Amino acid sequence: MIAAVVVDVPSGSVNKTFDYRIPVELEGWAEPGMRVIVPFGPRKLQGFILEIKEDSTVKGMKNIIEILDPLPVLTSELIELGRWLAENTLSFYITAYQAMLPAAMKATYEKAFQVLVPEKLTDPIASLFSANNEINVSDITNENPHLLKTLQNLAKEGVLDVVYKVKNKANKKRVKFVSLASKDLAKDTIQQNQKKAEKQKALLRELVNRPSGEYPLQEILTETGASHTTAQTLVKKGILHIEEKEVYRDPFQGRKMKPSKPLPLTENQENAIKPILHSIENNNHQTVLLHGVTGSGKTEIYLQSIQSVLDKGKEAIVLVPEISLTPQMVNRFKGRFGSAVAVLHSGLSIGEKYDEWRKILRKEVSVVVGARSAIFAPFQNLGIVIIDEEHETSYKQEDHPRYHARDVAIWRGKFHSCPIVLGSATPALETYARAQKGRYQLAELAKRVHSNPMPEVTIIDMREELKNGNRSMFSKELMDKLKTGLEKGEQSVLFLNRRGYASFILCRDCGYVAHCPHCDISLTFHKRYGELKCHYCGYKEGTPSVCPSCSSEHIRFFGTGTQKVEEELAKVLPEARVIRMDVDTTSKKGSHEKLLTAFENGEADILLGTQMIAKGLDFPKVTLVGVLAADTMLHLPDFRASEKTFQLLTQVSGRAGRHELEGKVIVQGYDTQHYSIQLASKHDYHTFYNHEMQARKLHQYPPFYYLGLLTFSHPDLMQVVDASDKAATYLSKRLSHDSLLLGPVTSPIARVKDRYRYQVMIKYKNEPELRVWFEEIIAHFQKDKDIKDLQITGDLNAQTLM
């Protein structure tokens, strides 16, 4: 039998399968989807079997060296999905397959010299091998390049052998368990009157006192103070039995989970869950957009939908943005479905992720809660996929394979004939537009549960505050409300929107921000050249010294941070206990959770933070939410700026008044008249949607057009300009009349790691050949020997132009 294998080499020239013979001893054992080790040229590489076939036309086939998995790690569905993924994201097959599996399964390679004929080794070299029969090449290359040459020559002469090793990044965790081999023998030993062997007796006593069974050796040793050798001695005496067993690392060890029962649904919820249950019942694929205001009880709908999927013996995937994958979130699922839940997120170690993943493969769990890549959970009987906060941009992976979890989810939904639920209070424009068109089914939750009112939002214009002599970063009203909350013993959340800082120019008097006349995008301030530039079309102008709008001199670029806010808060409200959450205070593992728990337990009055406190948090005692600098993001050079601002303000406001106490939100900013701020304060998604859709239509952005993006990078600016120019010409001759070609222009991030970046953008509605053209362009420059080191990445559906 022959196996078609993709090998672990992410390169265009080997982006295909290679045929290998399956040796007789592995016959009937090898299956598609298993990882194997195969010879590839002089090396050994890891690869995936994609297909098993009878024969092959290839001459001089080699044998598979080893099969790495007892079970396929890629199901036939995932093999097919990977092919689709690679082809639609312009990635290599191997890259797509590796993205579906936990990092632990990716191979690492090592090359080493081994001694073949020890007698022929002379001394300086011989001593190198005295400790070990082998030397890793990676250990010598940096230190002594000359030695490498010598060893290579010895290898040529046949004195040394070159071996290639393939390893895994992480392995199954094995733990030693101890049990009594003979209880009687143990008791006898304890009875012995000698003063000797006290540690041995202590160890045995511990085991005798416990109910008979196996215990982790380490636990027993720490308990009794005995050492490994003690245990080993007892094994030799035949009193103890030690066995190594494979265990799962448990990232949730010792955590208490509050069990929860299904809550009665409100009438609103009943209506919203209907289409989902209907799709589950009839086993048909349907994408349902669950548009529900913050606090409207979307999670309960998720939970009950999952329950009905589990009742049918099927499985569920829940995607949550990385940032809101908090213990609070996880507990809601673990509380309802207990040990049937696996969790996959970046906070886990490589090994922990591997273990959680294996629980899925072995069908030990039927619910997965995780970030983006959890969409590849190897379930074989998938009954539902839920994507919470579906508008989040983090669902799009920004390096290869550049997939959007939403697209993958829908692919799997079609494959399994099951519903895909997209939940959000502020759906992405693309999603809502599709729901309007009828491609997705729309389910709306317009009211909060228990008829809690939406929080009242007050917008404060900081320009007015400045005119009235308030130069602090807190408006008078926010100060007053913070004080009142403090007196009443209620909690407040202060949200500082840090994205978009320091890159734009703002007039402190009138709120003027420089915009590009051609693109309706704010200009980016380039400190180095002292000029303002548009990252979309390349337009530029000088930095004004006075505001072009009101002639004020208070025009400058803008910036502040959470630390500064904390300091100022300490000055004006010294009695307030503040917890600050940002990248600095949450970098340590578990600190995120600790801070939130502290806040939940009322150990602080004010929670101050950035993006990471905007989503999903639910604290009953929070009555006030303050948003500092609500409008900074509006000035990012991003056509989604308004949408993101609206989403963020809506999310943050949603943290207030979710329970008995009524909530209040104060939003501070400069450009407070902007529709995304005004409409967010009125909780009016629909008007925002209509308004924003008009703007997108006018400027030819998604969802009216798809964005194709080709990014070129090279250390030499001239090469990038030249290559991107050629590509643009190539495309311009082929694009249909409905498509628009923009650029080439410098990327918003013009240089990364000493490489200049240029991009060509295509706005298109229907361009079935675009993928092929991108491939051709990439292949063309790959072959061109005059331009080495030119990197090109193509994205057929870019979410951002950065």
Residues 783-802 that bind DNA (CB under 7 A): 785
Give the DSSP letter of residue 522.
Answer: B
| Total chain residues near DNA (CB under 7 A) | 27
| 350 CB-near residues (< 8 Å, 6+ apart) | 102, 103, 104, 169, 170
- Cis peptide preceding 574, ω within 30 of 0: no
Half-sphere exposure of 701 (CA within 13 A, CB side): 23
Whether 519 has a binding-site annotation, put simply, is yes
* Residue 661 DSSP one-character state: S
Nearest-angstrom CA–CA distance, 666 and 653: 9
Contact 709, 794 (CB under 8 A): yes
Two tokens, residue 575: 């009695």
Site map for DNA, 737-776, x if CB under 7 A? ----------------------------------------
Of residues 93 and 302, the one with the C-beta less far from DNA: 93
The response to whether 418 counts as a known ligand-binding position is: no
* Non-local CB neighbours of 271 within 8 Å, separated by 6+ positions: 443
Give the shortest CB-60-to-DNA separation in angstroms: 6
Binding to DNA by CB under 7 A, coded x per residue (else -) over 456-475, reads --------------------
Check binding of 257 to DNA (CB under 7 A): no
CB of 125 to DNA, least distance (A): 15
- For the CB of residue 396, give the shortest distance to DNA in the complex, in Å: 24
Nearer to DNA, 39 or 216 (CB): 39
**Residue 595 · residue 601 · CB < 8 Å:** no
Q: Choose, by CB under 7 A, the member of 162, 310, 442, 510 that binds DNA.
A: 162
Give CA–CA dist 791/78, Å, rounded.
29
**Nearer to DNA (CB atom), residue 43 or residue 526:** 43
Least spacing, CB of residue 714 vs DNA, in Å:
14
Helix (H, G, I), strand (E, B) or coil at 268: helix
Give the per-residue contact string, 2-31, with DNA (x = CB under 7 A; - = no): -------xxx-xx---xxxx----------
φ, ψ for residue 258, nearest 5 deg: -80, 115
Task: Report the half-sphere exposure of 495 (CA within 13 A, side-chain side).
Answer: 30
| Closer Cβ to DNA, 741 or 787, answer by number | 787
d(CA 606, CA 116): 69
Among 83, 106, 111, 699, interactor with DNA by CB under 7 A:
111
Whichever of 107 and 629 has its CB closer to DNA, that residue is 107
**Between 148 and 479, whose beta carbon lies closer to DNA?**
148
Q: How far apart are CA 601 and CA 593, in angstroms?
A: 12
Smallest gap, in angstroms, from Cβ of residue 13 to DNA?
A: 4
> Residue ranges of the alpha helices (H) in 129-254?
137-140, 145-157, 183-191, 198-209, 217-224, 228-236
Minimum Å gap between C-beta 30 and DNA is 14
Name which of 60 and 264 has its Cβ closer to DNA: 60
Residue length of the chain: 802
Is the CB of 143 or the CB of 660 nearer to DNA? 143
Q: Helix 685-698 to helix 641-653 angle, to the nearest 10 degrees?
A: 170
Tokens standing for residue 237: 């005496």
The three-class DSSP label of residue 760 is strand
Three-class HEC string of 389-457: CCCCHHHECCCCCCCEHHHHHHHHHHHHCCEEEEEECCCCHHHHHHHHHCCCEEEEECCCHHHCCCCEE
- Which residue is it, tokens 């709908």? 301
Q: Which is nearer to DNA, 109 or 215 (CB)?
A: 109
CB of 201 to DNA, least distance (A): 55
- Binder to DNA among 84, 129, 164, 252 (CB under 7 A)? 164
Q: What is the smallest separation between the CB atom of 250 and DNA, expressed in angstroms?
A: 35
Residue 156 CB, shortest distance to DNA, in Å, is 9
Helix (H, G, I), strand (E, B) or coil at 686: helix
Amino acid at 523: L
At 361, the amino acid letter reads L
The HSE-up count of residue 546 (CA atoms within 13 Å, CB side) is: 4
The smaller minimum CB distance to DNA, of residues 5 and 377, is found at: 5
Contact yes or no for 90/774 (Cβ under 8 A):
yes
Phi, psi for 578 (deg, rounded to 5): -115, 135
The smaller minimum CB distance to DNA, of residues 112 and 613, is found at 112
Token pair 């491939």 is found at: 775
| 34 and 79 Cβ atoms separated by less than 8 Å | no
Q: What is the 3-state secondary structure (H, E, C) of 275-300?
A: HHHHHHHHCCCEEEEEEECCCCCHHH
Which of residues 40 and 97 has its CB atom nearest to DNA in the complex?
40
Residue 149 or 594: which CB sits closer to DNA?
149
State which residue, 21 or 285, has the beta carbon closest to DNA.
Answer: 21
606-609 sheet: strands from edge to edge: 456-461, 664-669, 622-628, 491-496, 606-609, 578-581
Single-letter amino acid, residue 122? T
Mapped onto helix, strand or coil, the DSSP state of residue 459 is strand
Instruction: Please list, in sequence order, all residues whose beta carbon lies within 8 angstroms of the beta carbon of residue 773, skipping any fewer than 6 positions away.
Output: 730, 731, 734
Q: How far is the CB of 340 from DNA (least distance, A)?
A: 40
* Least gap, CB of 151 to DNA (angstroms): 11
Q: Which of residues 31-60 bind DNA (CB under 7 A)?
A: 38-43, 56, 58, 60
Give, in degrees to the nearest 5, the angle at Cα 125 between 120 and 128.
120
State the nearest-atom distance from the C-beta of 5 to DNA, in Å: 8
Is 550 annotated in a binding site? The answer is yes
Angle at 305 between CA 302 and CA 310, to 5 degrees: 120
Q: In angstroms, rounded to a whole number, what is the distance separating the alpha carbons of residues 53 and 22?
A: 10
58 to 97: interface string for DNA, x by CB under 7 A: x-xxx-----------------------------------
* Least distance to DNA, CB of residue 760, Å: 22
Shortest distance in whole angstroms from residue 43 CB to DNA: 5
Q: Can you read off the two tokens belonging to residue 297? A: 């009880």
Q: Which is nearer to DNA, 38 or 101 (CB)?
A: 38
Least distance in Å: CB of 93 to DNA?
14
Residues 121-150 that bind DNA (CB under 7 A): 146, 149
* Residue ranges binding DNA (CB under 7 A): 9-11, 13-14, 18-21, 38-43, 56, 58, 60-62, 109, 111, 146, 149, 162, 164, 785
Q: Residues annotated in the binding site, as ranges?
A: 507, 510, 516, 519, 534, 537, 547, 550
Q: Residues annotated in the binding site for Zn(2+), as ranges?
A: 507, 510, 516, 519, 534, 537, 547, 550
